[in-house]
Amino acid sequence: MHISDDKIKLQFLNFLLETDDEIQEQFERFVSNLNNIKSEDFEEFVESIFNKLNFVDIDDYVDMCNFYDYYDEDICDEIAQDLLLEYRELIDSLIKEDNIYKVFWVILAIYKAIKKEPALIEDIGICYSYEESLFNELEEIIYDNIEVLEGLDRSKRVDILKLLVSKLKDNFDYKFFNSLFLNLIDSNDMAQYAKSYFDNFDAIVKLHILDILKEDEEYIRLAKSNLKDDNVAKILLERLYELDRYSEFEDIAKSLFEDNKSYWIDYLIDKVKKDKSPKFYTDLVKYRALHNDINRYIELKSLVSSNEIEEVLAQLKESYYYDYYIKILIYEQRFEELLEFVKANIDIDFSLYAKALVEVYPDEILKIVIKKCEQEMTAYNRSRNNYKKIAKMLLQVYNSSIKDELRKYINRLYYHKPRLPALQDELKRANLIDDLQLK
């Protein structure tokens, strides 16, 4: 850019600083933060951040008459983003200056300030999700800026690692910065250096270091001692699978599945080998068959006896997966059982079974659809929405062997006394009224 352009820019910026109060305030905060950094007093900078975050009044951000239209967490998230915005801007300026060490110095200071538990005040007390929102926003800041470590030489990486280790104290601290450590320790040389702080790190980072150093047995031993961490457990299973140590993989997988079936099922069902673990594989398929997966139900039929399939169906009948149970009964063409089930559970969505049963049990379906329509007609605070439901149910079985009987019922609805224009309109929209009926 030409010098004259730079002069114009400076004139314009000076003009803004002199005339715009908001920009003037932002500039003063920016200069203050730069001065705090230059002072090299980390604790003072932490305290200045804490003072900014502490005892913030929610009234400054939310019109209290609309407060209860929001979720508490959403408000806290918005406030956290707003309060940490100036530190995002400060980090951006440090990156432009290529002062990467100071970037993480600032990030650490923000973290320490949040750890001091600043409070957000609202009319009914302290907003306890505020601290969580601040941590979440700081995680976002780290994520957005972690790429600055790419291409950083060893000495600068070591300096940043030393900075982190000097300021972090407990396991929670180290775990919070896992993503940063995983990116900092990127080579055999850095892994060797980081090993001098090995005991401080979270298990995920320890495994990362051992992986780089190719210490496989120590890697597996450490992972086995940290199986309560699901991320560690999954990393270990992957490693055992890759090393073809299937027997160990199976033993650990069984234990994990027994402790938390819903968490592990999706991962394990695609990993466990049917030929090597027939019973375990069958247990996994059965679990999925019981939890809304008809393809696994079909597969299960080839793995277990008919008696066991009957037990599965009995469990499903008593479960909350009634739509899935209906789907299976239709697949099995067990229409008599299906009819009895829906008659005993009249509130079940008509569309789930109407087409499957209307030609098998036309008279029964006619009774059911009329009963469900009458329920809508007598609903409390009946509205057009009820009429839409009526039209939808009638349409689902209209083009069937009960069409003539349905037309008689539709005529009754159409000429209901007193007249119901909204119902008539919905019946017309569904094409359930023809010229013959309107004579």
Q: How confident is the model at residue 263 (pLDDT cuts 50, 70, 90)?
A: very high
Q: How confident is the model at residue 129 (pLDDT cuts 50, 70, 90)?
A: confident
Specify the DSSP class assigned to residue 202. Answer: -
In whole numbers, what is the pLDDT of the chain averaged over residues?
89
Q: What is the reported pTM? A: 0.76
The SS3 call for residue 56 is strand
**pLDDT value, residue 31:** 55
**pLDDT value, residue 71:** 47
pLDDT above 90 coverage of the chain, percent: 77
Q: What is the torsion angle, in degrees rounded to the nearest 10, for the CA atoms of residue 242, residue 244, residue 247 and residue 253?
A: 10
Tokens at residue 402, please?
Answer: 């009960």
Overall residue count recorded for the chain in this entry: 439
User: What is the per-residue pLDDT across 26-81, written as a single tens digit (0 to 9) for each?
Assistant: 565 555 555 555 556 899 999 999 999 988 877 766 654 454 444 455 788 888 99
Residue whose pair of structure tokens reads 């800026």 in the numeric block = 145
Count Cβ atoms below 10 Å from residue 434 Cβ, excluding itself: 11
Q: How confident is the model at residue 15 (pLDDT cuts 50, 70, 90)?
A: low
Tokens at residue 270, please?
Answer: 């695609």
**pLDDT value, residue 124:** 54
Specify the DSSP class assigned to residue 399. Answer: S
Give Cα 84 distance to the centre of its chain: 24
**pLDDT value, residue 96:** 94
**pLDDT value, residue 26:** 58
- Tell me which residue of 355, 358, 360, 347 sits closest to 389, measured CA to CA: 347
Q: How confident is the model at residue 433 (pLDDT cuts 50, 70, 90)?
A: confident
CA–CA distance from 260 to each of 248, 250, 285 (Å)? 19, 15, 15
Q: What is the torsion angle, in degrees rounded to the nearest 10, for the CA atoms of residue 233, residue 239, residue 242 and residue 248?
A: -60
First vs last C-alpha separation in the chain: 82
Q: What is the CA radius of gyration of the chain?
A: 33
Tell me the mean pLDDT in the region 119-141. Answer: 82
**pLDDT value, residue 3:** 47
Residues 249-258: contacts with CB within 8 Å, 24+ apart?
Answer: 250/276, 250/277, 250/280, 252/224, 252/227, 253/280, 254/280, 255/227, 256/227, 257/283, 257/284
Contact 389, 429 (CB under 8 A): no
Tell me the mean pLDDT in the region 220-224. Answer: 97
**H-type helices in 55-167, by residue range?**
72-96, 100-115, 130-145, 154-167
CA–CA distance from 45 to each of 30, 83, 108, 116, 325 (Å)? 13, 15, 10, 13, 61
User: What is the per-residue pLDDT across 292-321, written as a single tens digit (0 to 9) for each?
Assistant: 999 999 999 999 999 999 999 999 999 999
Alpha-carbon gap, residue 410 to 433, rounded angstroms? 8
Tokens at residue 244, please?
Answer: 């073809």
**pLDDT value, residue 56:** 82
DSSP-assigned beta bridge partners for residue 126? 121
Tokens at residue 403, please?
Answer: 């069409």
Alpha-carbon gap, residue 34 to 22, rounded angstroms? 19
* HEC letters along 292-303: CCHHHHHHHCCC
User: What is the per-residue pLDDT across 140-151, written as a single tens digit (0 to 9) for each?
Assistant: 999 999 999 998
Provide the greatest CA pair distance for the chain. Answer: 93
Does residue 133 carry a pLDDT above 70?
yes
